Structure 1
Amino acid sequence: MFMMGAVAGAVAVLIAAQKDFQVSNPGLEVTEAQMATLRIGDKGPEIAMKDPQGNVRKLSDLKGKVVLIDFWASWCRPCRMENPNLVKTYDEYKDIRFKNGDGFEVFSVSLDRNKVAWEAGIKQDELVWENHVSDLQYWRNAAAQTYGVNSIPATYLIDGEGNIIKKNLRGKVLINTLEVLKK
């Protein structure tokens, strides 16, 4: 009798907790992510999403610049720890002329599902660049799906022609790469 009560209690807890978690098909998502794997030299697929003010921002609007697509979220501790380095790198390289693009931009794609938390993360970390986008779909973020992102932080460095030139650059490795790309 006690065992049946414990099982019933556990089932009730699971049903209540299920509301807080996204239902997904992990096997299907892995297959889709593998299919979406992009390689160095590939064109970076278009990203068109809304910024916090509701305006659509497009990756293609930054053509001619070297762009770091930064997949992050306000709840991601490693992302938040990397943000000060990214702010410093942006400030240092935003006006630099490169062999394959004039200026450096960051195009931040948030995997948040809560707009208030997303906006607070931008403000708290002083992410001063203009290009912040999200569809607030968490791991089902359309751009993350297209780019095959399965962990964050994740980055793609795009040249002035829109080609992927490097992946997953952070800190000193990003700075060294930008130094090599300078004219």
Structure 2
Amino acid sequence: MISLKESLGKVTIVDFWASWCGPCRQENPNVVALYNELHGKGLNIIGVSLDKDAKAWKDAIAKDKLTWNQVSNLKFWDEPIAAQYNVQSIPATFILDASGKVVAKDLRGAELRAKILELLAK
């Protein structure tokens, strides 16, 4: 059990993904590199999985080297956190500022990195 408020840094990415989502898994190396580079400067990430198989989910976390907090109710598309954010497809990312306000969403690769750097500079 983790609290979003307790997990907020200067910038937080809420990343909706699943072990069975090819595009999600393809983006993970970029997110890992970003986290490794910028976590010390205030970047936090919370992974929210839409998996329904705990073993597949945990295996994907280990294989992709996702070292940040991960949560899942193992309810597939009925994931309550996804409903709260109105997630209709994955991958879906929400970038939150230090106050927890959503300031951008669904950025990937270089666009995601640029936005995180911009927010961390504030």
TM-score normalised per structure 2 = 0.95
What letter corresponds to residue 162 of structure 1 in structure 2?
G
Any unmatched runs of 5+ in structure 2?
none
Aligned Cα root-mean-square deviation (Å):
0.9
**1:64 offset after TM fit, Å?**
4.1
Matched, 1:121 2:60: yes
TM-score (norm 1): 0.64
1:26-41 counterparts in 2 under 5 A? Answer: none
Match of 1:108 in 2: 47
Q: Give the 3 Å change call, closer, same or farther, for CA 64–80 of structure 1 in structure 2.
A: closer
Would you say the 8 A contact 2:18–2:49 is kept in 1?
yes
Secondary structure class of the residue paired with 2:19: coil
Are the equivalent residues in 1 in contact too, given 2:11–2:43 (CA < 8 A)? yes
* Cα deviation 1:139-166 (Å, max 9, x = unaligned): 0000111101010000000111111110
Assess if the C-alpha contact under 8 Å between 2:14 and 2:94 holds in 1: yes
Unaligned runs of 5+ in 1: 1-55, 97-102
- Percent identity of paired positions between Structure 1 and Structure 2: 44
1:149 aligned residue: 87
User: Can you list the C-alpha shifts for 1:91-118, whole angstroms capped at 9, x where unaligned?
Assistant: 111112xxxxxx0011000000000000
Please list every run of at least 4 consecutive aligned residues from structure 1 whose deviation after the TM superposition is greater than 3 angstroms.
Answer: none
The amino acid that maps onto 2:30 is N
Please give the alpha-carbon distance, in whole angstroms, between the structure 1 residues aligned to 2:100 and 2:29: 26
Q: Does 1:62 align with 2:2?
A: no
Q: Looking at CA atoms only, which structure, 1 or 2, has the larger radius of gyration?
A: 1
In structure 2, what is the Cα distance between the partners aligned to 1:125 and 1:64? 23
Offset of 1:58 from its aligned partner? 1.5
Look up the equivalent residue of 1:110 and give its one-letter code. S
Query: Match for 2:73 among 111, 135, 147?
Result: 135
In structure 2, the partner of 1:86 is 31
